[in-house]
Structure formats: C-alpha cells, structure tokens
A and B are shown apart, each in its own frame.
Chain A
Amino acid sequence: MSNIRRVTRLGAIAAVGALALAACSSNTATTPSTSASASAATGYNAAVDNIVNPSTATGGTLKLAAQGDCDSWDPARTYYAYCWDLQRLFTRSLMGYAPLPGAKGTAVVPDLATAPGAASAGNTVWTYHLQAGLKFQDGSTITTKDIKYGIQRLYASDIINGGPSQYYLCLLSTCDASGAPAYKGPYKDPTGDLPSIATPDDTTIVFTLNKAFGDFDYLMTLPSAAPVPKTADTGAKYTTAVVSSGPFEFKSYNPSTGVVWVRNPNWSQATDTIRHPLVNEVDLQFVSDPAVSDKQLQAGTIDLEADGGVQATLMAQIDASAALKVNSDNPTTGFSRYLAVMPSVIPNIDCRKAIFLAINKADLVKARGGSYGGDPATTMTPPTIPGYVAGYDPYPVGADFTGDVAGAKAALAKCGQPNGFSVNMAYVNKGRGPAVFLAVQQALARVGIKVVSSPGDSATYYSNFIGSPSNIVAKKLGIAVAGWAADFPTGYGFWESIADGTTILPNGNTNYPSLNDATINGLLKGSTSAAVADQAGIFQKVDHAVMDAAVYLPFQFDKSLYYRNARLTNIYLNGGVGNYYDYVNIGVGGGS
C-alpha cells in the first residue's frame, strides 16, 4: 500500500518537475513565475490560488514587518507558523513544500534529498539520499551526519526546546509513561548516539522508527529536521548564530529591531527546486504597534506584514475600497477554533450536546474579529485537511449560526437537567479569551446553563492548566477554549495530537478532553500504513466519530486578511506553510 502512496507522490513531484523544466527552457533563472504564468491573476484573493505578477526580474530588497521577534531562529526551537515560513529563507530539510499557490503548495517534494523517502513495507524504515553539491554558508559540505545531529539536538529538551520535538522523540527513541525518551541528546547522553538514525555514508540516512508512520516525509519538511553542523552548535545560543543551508544568510540580527538576510553565496540553485529567490536582501523589521505597520503597508514603506493579517482599521478601509481590496487576500489559515467539552466533568453526552446546540457561533466569530477573521465551523476538520466535507454539520445551530435553543432545551431534558446546570469554563486571560468567554456565557445562559469563569495564565494554559487531565478534573473545567492547526497538512498531522487516546499525557497533553475511543484509535493507527487514495475516507470517518462523541465543539475556521504591496512579484499563498506568502520566492520587480 505504501507503494501506491509513493506513486501518487511521485506523480505530484513529476508535475512540479515539469513546471520547473518549463521554466528552465525559457530562462536560466528558474522561478515559479514562468512555470505558473498560465494561472497568473490579479485582484482580491488572487494570491490564494494563483501567482500574482509573475516576473523573472531579480534584485531589490523585500521589506517585511512583524510585531516582534520569532520565538527562536534556531530551526529546532521555533514553533510560530510564520517563522517556519521565514525559515525557508535559510534552512533546508530533506523534504519541503512545492513552490505553488494554495492547496497545490501542500505537495511534499524533495529538498536536500534526491527523492521522497523510500519506506519499508510497514512504513517503519525510511531511507533518503542527499543530492550532490549541497553546502552550508561557510562552504562546508552538508552531510547526512549534520541532519542526524540536528535531530539529536531535539532530545536535549532542557536546552533545545519550544519546537515540535514531540513528533520525533518517541518515534526514534523509547519513552517512559510520562513521554520522556531514553536518549538524552548529544550534550548529556554518555553513549552520544541515537542508533535509530543510521548514516552509512555522507549521502545516505536511514531512520528506523518505533512504529509505522506514513507521514514521515512531512516530518522531514519541518525546520526541526534541518541539518546543524556539530562544530557550529552553540546550544541555546544557536538562535543568534544559525548556519544557513538556504539561499539567504543572516547579515544582522537584533532581537529588538529586526533581521537582515542577504544572499548566501554557497547556496546553489542547481540543488534547489523549491526556492527561486529573486531579491538580494530580505529585511524583517519589528514594529510593535500593528496600527503603525498597517500605515507603513499602505504607504508602501513595507511590503508585507509577515506575522499576520491587518488590524480592524485597515480591514474596514479594505472592505470599503476596491483599490485596496485588489491587493488583498483573505485565506483560511488552517486553524480550527473550538471548545473542548470535557467528558470527565460532564459525563452525560446529552448534557454536552445541549452545549453544542445552544452555542451562538455568529457571536463567537464576531468576538474573534468578524467575517474577515474566520467562518463559522460546523465540523472539526478544517478545509485545508483531507477528510473535510463541506456542509457536514451534525449539530446544526440555524442558518444564522445563532444557536438552536429549542434543541438545546430538549437535550437538557434528555440528560435530566431541564433547568440547566453550572459549568466552569477555562480560557486564556488575555487577547480574545475574555471576549470568547462572554459570548459562550451569554449563549448558554439562554437555556439555563450557568458558565463560570476560570481564566488561565497564558504561560501555563496549554501545558498544565488544560493540558493536565488531573487539573481539569480537580478544577472541574467542563469547557475549555482552544485552537488547533496541523503542523503538516495531512489528516494524521491534524488528528493525532488531539484525538489519539494512546498518546494522552499527564502534562502538556493536547487531547484536552482525553478522548480515548477504540474506533478512532484504530482508524488513526490504520492510516499510518494506508494508501493515499484511502486517506480522505479514513479521516472523514475520524471526523464523524469525533463529532459523534460530542467532546470537540468547533466554532470557527480562522482566516486572515492580508494586504500586499502592489510592487511585489511572484507572490502567492502557499498551503504547505499555513497559507502564508512564500517569502523566499517573492520578487520586487528588480526595483529598489
């Protein structure tokens, strides 16, 4: 079955390769512009599924702004979505995402590797070969030992932390009940090795996994799987001295003002089918007030806001102005916002269903920024993930999404609480958390459900407030606000962390309602060795089973309203990097 999966992948790769070859035939500088010029478009939402302003003109500086610094520039430690996108400037991994707009960009293609991983029959052994001519910015050759070392660092979790190490740790080393792996990383472990990763030579790397993992190619796209030269590793301080393997390298970095990247002379276009850089320099400026960066965007002194959409004022201006709207995009981000309704606190499913039916999703969408900020969600799977079925709505709350009060009252009567009940609700005590709490409180009050505030500190909310099943029971947290997006765009990437009952942890648990359903667990396990053609069907079943359990109440699929400078060329939103613009391939028309 894995062969069918690989054939399908190869088909996608062949298509991308053909596009790249088409580009090569007309110009020595291979850029996505020429390959996709047929789909070029302009106007509102044009960059969602098309390449806007295709061009091969090189030169100039791309000017980006963000409200603050990334969580880390160390590829092993960063977890902010836009920072993963920026990592494409200077970090390469074995695999990557195709340089194409929209859902086409979710195709996983070789980056440092010559081909996708060759998997064993059970998807437990994965082998990759490196291309020739790969170099770090200092001119030294990138070998498979550097890739292995980069992954070994993830195990030094007291120093190298914050990134998505949870995918690798127990897959490549044995873990105890708390999720702690036996291997302690290259700094402390006396054996100094992780035998599950073999590097028989400098261009071959073999991963032997503890269990089947069909999406391993996707894991190899993450920055956390990037090569790190052992001689340059400075531990926690590596964030200030990252060695580039991509087309750009750090020229300067000031955690307070910004970053400047310039071209890496040791990167070779001949080794890279994903990145087709056009600009000479990328500047990321930290602008703490988003209202100011919105102004800069309108004035054209910056090209894009790298870390998110525009604020309410510019949003209203865009809404009212066709001239502004033509340079705007409003894509889905892949995030599902939901309420986790805890069966450990509300064991009766009809009581939970009463909450599902009484909720006012229209108000919740308003509380989170209005229609440009998202659409009401009727099921957990976001539109960007296989298994999503438009229109599937097991708990309809009316055409206007304001709630089914009669249905909720009927469910309450069925659960033996016709006058409602009291429930504690957890939410983060800043940002949009309080507004969401108020919207839920008002909606449920209509059917007699009294919602009591239990705000949590943002620093520990996900780790040991709602991430601790025992704390949920101790504090009787019946409802918790949360959001989730897949770290890689597959069904398993979306569901494994939130619905697999075999991975529930005492702390740092992401399956907040502790959903442990044998059918769902079986479907998820089976998906790791299933054919690609069967994936959508499997995850559709997972979605339906999860919704039937009435523990996840989805209320919004997030969207962001972006504004792009009209001078930008080759600009598109890439589904592989969370529907952010593909910064590494954007041009500025060669101008200054």
Chain B
Amino acid sequence: MGRYIVRRLLGAVVVVWVVSVITFGIFMIVPKITGASPAYLYVGKISTPAQVQAVEHNFGLDLPIPQQYLNYMSGIINGRTVSDGNSTSRCSAPCLGYSFRKNLAVTDLLQSHFTVTLGLAIGASILWLVGGVAVGILSALRRGSFFDRVAMIIALAGVSLPVYFTGLLLLTVFSYGPSWLRLVPDPTFHPFGQDPLLYIKSMILPWISLAFLFAALYARLTRASMLDTMGEDYIRTARAKGLSNRKVISKHALRAALTPIVTIFGLDLAGLLGGAILTEKTFSLPGLGALAVDAIGLQDLPVIMGVTILGSMFIVIANVVVDVLYGIVDPRVTYK
C-alpha cells in the first residue's frame, strides 16, 4: 500500500507541474501576443510607454518567458524577493507572485480567502453528507413509499435549482423577508476568529443553499447505489444466513454502496476547496471563488494563476485520497 501511495503522489506532482506549465503559458504568452502587458494593469488608465517599461522591469516581466517561469517555480519552492521598484519584501515559499491590483503577495491573498472557502466547504459537506446519504438510504429501504416519492421530488428540485437561485431565495425570505421570518437579519460575513457565533449565523444560509444542491444529488446517488447493492447475491446470502436486517444493511450493503459516494465526495469537496464561486458571490463571502472571479474581472493574472494551480492541486490530492479510501471502505479493493 505504501508503494502505491508513493507512486500516486509522484504522479500527482507531475500532473500539478503540467498544470503549472499550461497555466503559466496561457497567462503569460497570451498577453504577449495581444500586446496587453500585465504592466498596464498596474500603471492604470493613463500611461506612457516609459511607465509601462519601468513597471515591467520592476516585476521582471521584461525577462524571457522561460526565465520568468523558472523564477515563478523557484518562488514556489524557495520563496523570492519581490520589488516594486522602491521597496523590496520577502515573499516566503510557496510564493505564487504578486497581485498587481491589490499590492499583496498572492500567497497571502490565497491564505486569507482559503479559510473562508474551507469553512464553507466543511460546513456544507457535513450537511449534505448527513442529509443526502440518510435520505438516500431511507428512500432505498422504503422504495415506492410516500417518503421515497416526496424525498425524490425534493431531490429533483434540489438538483435542478442553481445555487444562486436557492441562495437569493433564502436571503429574500430569511434576511429581507417579513420581520418574523428574518432569522438571519444580517447576512454579512464575520470571520470565525472575530466572533464564532456571528460566523455561524453568517454561514448558515450559504451552508444550506450549497448543501441543498449536493444533498439532493447524494440522496439520488445513494438511493440508486443502495438499490443496486440490495439486489446483489451476497446480500441474499447474508439474509439466508439469518443475519438481522440492520446487520445486512450496515455491514454489507452500506459499505459497498458507499464506494461511489466516497469517490464523488472527494472530487466534490476538492472542487469546492478550489472555490465555490456561485455561493461565494451570492452571499458575498470572501472565498477563493470570489477572489478568482474578481481577479478575472480585474485581469489580475498572478491571482488567477494562483487560484488555478491551488484548485488543480486539490483535485489531484483528492483523487489520491479517494483511491486510498477505496481499500478501506470496500474490502473487495486491493492495491497493486
């Protein structure tokens, strides 16, 4: 198993490296082709060629692209010194460059925004895992019942409704609705460190709206997976051996039915950690997704690159973790 994990991790490093090359290529070569130097973003609306050249020099944008890439990668591994032409500051590893628009190191920006996204993803994932899987199991066990029908209709609605619709609906009812319904009158984001209670209050609606979408998906997936598993020969054998219904479900059916759930959960969580763009924008949460959207709007290339590389890293790591978890969840899986 150890060799398998090492092999997968090495593969993951190669994938992230390829992503970094492609990302860097897109964001650095395209401006060269179009003539829109990133320095224009720093200089502002009214600029002279001399200003642009000076800024390009300050930020090393006048170096050959391979050299810029080497500097970038060296910054990720060793850190680097960033200069604005007047003062220099140390950008510690992993240094992902410097935001032209915000005058901040990209790593610092990612750190501050990641904590928000992490909180959103963890809270929502707990809700959707508990809610979605439980409803899916119950629906499968009571197939065709009133509960099953209602649960699947709600799940269909959940899958169909986009987050920005659900989010705005929740805000309209619980933040701006009639006073007796205003359970979250101030949806403004408050950091956990500032006031944990206010943090939870400000995150309840985002958690619910994000979890609603995923819970619906997971309920349908769990139900289908459970129904498949319950029809397997080994379940019939377990029943024939006289095991109780609870043991059949928990020891045999559930473990096998959860394998696809673990796969999809790992990838969903990793995708969210790279930025839950719609949820963050709808609730004005300063997470990675909102940072990426703002950076795209402002054409802040170093930030866009940083978010892209970080997001891809989460996906790759999640794939490795999911593969390892297969063996733990499903005894039929062996590592080679």
Contact = CB atoms under 8 A, between A and B. Distances in A.
B281 A163 contact: no
B245 interface: no
Nearest to B290: A288
B271 to A, nearest CB: 20
B85 A507 contact: no
A150 to B, nearest CB: 15
A292 B36 contact: no
B23 interface: no
A161 B47 contact: yes
Interface stretch (B7-15, B128-136, B171-179, B255-263): B171-179
A399 interface: no
Contacts of A460: 35-37, 40
Given A159-B84, A257-B189, A257-B286, A505 B48 contact: yes
Contacts of B49: 178, 506-507
Given A69-B102, A286-B284, A178 B50 contact: yes
Interface residues of B, number: 53
Contact of B42 (A161, A234, A254, A467): A161
A79 interface: yes
Interface in A55-91: 68-69, 71-72, 77, 79
Contact of A459 (B186, B189, B299): B299
A424 interface: no
Contact of B40 (A237, A291, A293, A464): A464
Interface stretch (B51-59, B154-162, B215-223): B51-59
B87 A237 contact: yes
A457 B44 contact: no
B86 A187 contact: yes
A571 to B, nearest CB: 22
Given A69-B102, A158-B51, A178-B50, A292 B86 contact: no
B81 interface: no
Contacts of A464: 35, 40
Contacts of A236: 84, 86-87, 103
B145 interface: no
Given A235-B87, A285-B188, A463 B46 contact: yes
Contacts of A285: 188, 284
B228 interface: no
B48 A508 contact: yes
Nearest to A72: B103
A130 B286 CA distance: 43
A77 B57 CA distance: 20
A434 interface: no
A291 B167 CA distance: 12
B6 interface: no
Interface stretch (A115-123, A294-302, A380-388): A294-302
B36 A457 contact: yes
A510 B46 contact: yes
A179 interface: yes
B176 A299 contact: yes
Given A162-B43, A166-B46, A257-B189, A289 B175 contact: no
Given A79-B45, A180-B50, A464-B35, A159 B86 contact: yes
A589 to B, nearest CB: 19
Contacts of B43: 157, 161-162, 463
Contacts of B103: 72, 236-237, 239-240
B44 A163 contact: yes
B60 interface: no
B113 interface: yes
Q: How large is the interface on A (under 10, 10 to 19, 20 to 34, 35 or more residues)?
A: 35 or more
Given A68-B294, A289-B282, A292-B284, A159 B40 contact: no
Given A187-B85, A462-B45, A507-B47, A292 B286 contact: no
Contacts of A507: 47-49
B85 A158 contact: yes
A287 interface: yes
A157 B34 contact: no
Contacts of B186: 301
Contacts of B281: 288-289
B119 interface: no
A77 B176 CA distance: 37
A463 B49 CA distance: 10
A48 B238 CA distance: 80
A463 B47 contact: yes
B48 A158 contact: no
A459 B41 contact: yes
A159 B42 CA distance: 9
Contacts of A287: 284
Interface string B98-110: 0000111000010
Nearest to B177: A299
B212 interface: no
A64 B286 CA distance: 17
B128 to A, nearest CB: 23
A439 to B, nearest CB: 24
B112 interface: yes
B34 A457 contact: yes
Interface string A152-189: 00001111011111100000000000111000000100
B79 interface: no
Contacts of B35: 460, 464
Nearest to B112: A256
Contacts of B34: 457
Interface in A227-265: 234-237, 239-240, 254-257
B185 interface: yes
A268 interface: no
B76 interface: no
Nearest to A458: B299
Nearest to A463: B47
Contacts of A239: 103
Q: Report which residue of B45, B112, B187 has the largest number of chain A beta carbons within 10 angstroms of its beta carbon.
A: B45
A532 B12 CA distance: 72
Given A156-B86, A159-B84, A295 B171 contact: yes
A521 to B, nearest CB: 20
Interface in B167-203: 168, 171-172, 175-176, 182, 185-189, 191
Nearest to B301: A459
A166 B45 CA distance: 11
Contacts of A161: 42-44, 47, 51, 55
B291 interface: yes
Given A286-B284, A295-B176, A463 B40 contact: yes
B283 interface: yes
B148 to A, nearest CB: 36
A178 B48 contact: yes
A145 B294 CA distance: 38
Q: Report which residue of A77, A460, A505, A506 has the largest number of chain B beta carbons within 10 angstroms of its beta carbon.
A: A460
A496 to B, nearest CB: 13
B44 A158 contact: no
A164 B45 CA distance: 9
Contacts of A256: 109, 112-113, 286, 290-291
B284 A288 contact: yes
Given A161-B43, A166-B46, 8 more contacts: A235-B86, A237-B103, A239-B103, A256-B113, A288-B280, A292-B283, A459-B41, A506-B49
11 contacts: A79-B45, A157-B50, A157-B54, A158-B54, A161-B42, A235-B85, A257-B286, A295-B172, A296-B176, A459-B299, A505-B48
Shortest Cβ-Cβ A-B pairs, 5 listed: A158-B54, A162-B44, A256-B286, A235-B86, A236-B84
